[in-house]
Structure 1
Amino acid sequence: MTTEYSGTGDPARSLALLWRTREPATRRGRTDLTVDRIVRAAIELADTEGLAALSMRRVAERLSVGTMSLYTHVPGKGELLDLMLDTVYAETTEPPPAAADGWRARLEAVARDNWALYLRHPWLLQVATTRPPLGPNLIARYERDLRAVDGIGLTDLEMDAVITLVGGFVHGTVRGAVEAAQAAERTGMTEEQWWRAHAPYLEKAMDPRRFPLATRVGAAAGEEYQAAADPARAFEFGLARILDGIEVLVRHRPGATGTDTDR
């Protein structure tokens, strides 16, 4: 699987493009070609063909322009990738549920919103963002996420850590859902069909005396999931446990009373 890295472009040029502080280029030729059109075409390409297909040449072909025309607006692939990320982050800047719903509902909404974002844009899983694109939509997303846990008794560092924890959990669990969907598309076989084809042979080959726990638990899980795993169920179970753990942290703060809906 292709792995790309955000934050590899020229810092000054990337930030100028992300925050749109750069003066638009003036040149002869296509006047309808803009940064936004280029970024949207790149996102559509990655959505339909995967991140491995992304190149300045392929984006230019999608826009029916010469490759050099793109460089007038975007210096290179590194800056383009940062722009793509910040653009799709705008899809997750809606405010969480009202304060009356409590921090738990707000944080759950953040997690589900991010889960849905990865399903819409699976290529996000192939981008390492330890050096994130510091654009307006990423900052707005961070602000939105922090509001979910603001005022519940956590320190600033703990608030950041909670958001990082939830984001990392979603990133890890949604990968299984994306890979399952891609496997079904590329093989023409659903998870249930795959499981039914393999389970009978596994039962014959595996000695339950050697693997008693794997036999018992695996059989129960396979019967329930009709697959080797159920990413959506893992997400639901894990999210609830993470929220439970955060609730313990909040409740042990001095002066903490009542349920999370009181905060």
Structure 2
Amino acid sequence: MASGDDSALIWTRSEPGTRRPKFTRDQIASTALSLADTEGFAAVSMRRVAAELGAGTMTLYYYVRTKDELIALMDDAIMGEVWIPADEFPAHWYDALTAVAERTWDVLMRHPWALQSLRNASMGPNAMRHFEQSLAALAGTRLAAAEKFALLAVVDDYVHGNVLRSAEFRAANAAPVDDEVIEAAIRFAESQYATGEFPHTQELFGGKDPREVFPRLIGVVSEKDRFRHGLAMVLDGAARRLDLPPR
């Protein structure tokens, strides 16, 4: 393998410890995450993080060379939240993947901005631990390497998609309701039903106000319970398709 300048990766350099004030990478990452959680990712900058730490911007550059390195620290801090302690990790593949998926969902729901804003972050040690743990969940199965990777990708797709959809629902529910727009949308739907091209949609709503029908369709369940129900459908389907041992 050709050698290169590994110092370009923050993980290959020791943390500075000879100057004052002294900060750890964990402190820097935690400060940046707190900013993103409370004010949005756009609020995160080297200058702002330094100010929150009570340091000058140039002092922060002593610990973190670039904004990309700051993003890498943030991403790895989040992946550290995702990792499950070994003594809590289930032995059965189904329970293990469920634990990984639920832990990931919990973390991303706390930091929903991360899916978009940190997607190009370089992989750090906690991300590698998470991937290793995900593979460990399937170690006792007879799946081929490609099948393991495909199953983990499907679970990740479901988790990430559910987080994004939940964030959309939260934003929609927080927005003010414009009754005039809703009434216009209902009239439009009714005009479309009259064409006879949407019999299944018409049957679903039964000629009733969607605002009354949707809550009954969704049911009175929490975001987490809806996530768990969908995850079970994904894993049950995987068990049948891949001939995995049942739960």
Please confirm whether the aligned pair reaches a TM-score higher than 0.5, indicating the same fold. Answer: yes
1:212 matched to 2:202:
no
Report the equivalent of 2:147.
158
Match of 1:24 among 16, 19, 29: 16
Output one character per residue of 1:225-244: Cα deviation in whole Å (capped at 9) or x when no partner.
579xx965663443223212
The answer on whether the counterparts of 2:15 and 2:25 sit within 8 Å (CA) in structure 1 is no
- Distance, in Å, in 1 between the alignment partners of 2:223 and 2:6 is 40
Whether 1:69 aligns to 2:59 is: yes
* Structure 2 unpaired stretches of 5+: none
Which residue type is aligned with residue 222 of structure 1? F
Contact 1:97 1:106 in 2 (8 A): yes
- Which AA in structure 1 matches 2:188? A
Q: Distance in 2 between matches of 1:61 and 1:23?
A: 20
Which one of 219, 225, 238 corresponds to residue 246 of structure 1?
Answer: 238
Measured in 2, the distance between the counterparts of 1:247 and 1:92 equals 24
Percent identity between matched residues is 33
Look up the equivalent residue of 2:18 and give its one-letter code. Answer: T
> Per-residue displacement from partner, 1:19-51 (whole Å, max 9, x unpaired)?
5x4251534xx3233332222111111111111
State whether residues 173 and 231 of structure 1, in contact with CA within 8 Å, keep that contact through their aligned partners in structure 2.
no
**Is residue 96 of structure 2 the alignment partner of residue 106 of structure 1?**
yes
CA offset digits 1:65-112 (Å, max 9, x no partner): 21111101100110110111111111121146432xx32222112111
| Corresponding letter in the other structure for 2:48 | R
Amino acid across the alignment from 1:123: W
Indicate the RMSD between aligned Cα atoms, in angstroms: 3.1
In structure 2, the partner of 1:82 is 72
SS in 1 for 2:65: coil
Separation in 2, partners of 1:98, 1:37: 31
Cα deviation, residue 196, structure 1? 7.9
Determine the structure 2 residue equivalent to 1:46: 36
Tell me whether 1:224 sits opposite 2:216 in the alignment. yes
Deviation for aligned residue 1:173 = 1.4
Paired residues in the alignment total 231
Matches of 1:92 and 1:142, distance apart in 2: 10
Residue 14 of structure 1 contacts residue 79 of structure 1 at CA under 8 Å; is this kept in 2?
no
Aligned equivalent of 2:164: 175
Identify if the C-alpha distance between structure 1 residues 142 and 49 changes in structure 2 by more than 3 Å, giving closer, same or farther.
same
Return the TM-score normalized by structure 1. Answer: 0.75
**1:25–1:72 CA contact under 8 A, matched in 2:** no
Structure 1 position 115 matched with structure 2 position 117: no
User: Quick one: distance in 1 between partners of 2:75 and 2:215?
Assistant: 39
Matched, 1:260 2:246: yes
Distance 1:40 1:245, change over 3 A: same
Structure 1's 34 and 98: CA in aligned 2 closer, same or farther, altered over 3 A?
closer
Unaligned residue ranges in structure 1 (runs of 5+): 1-10
Q: TM-score, normalised by structure 2?
A: 0.79
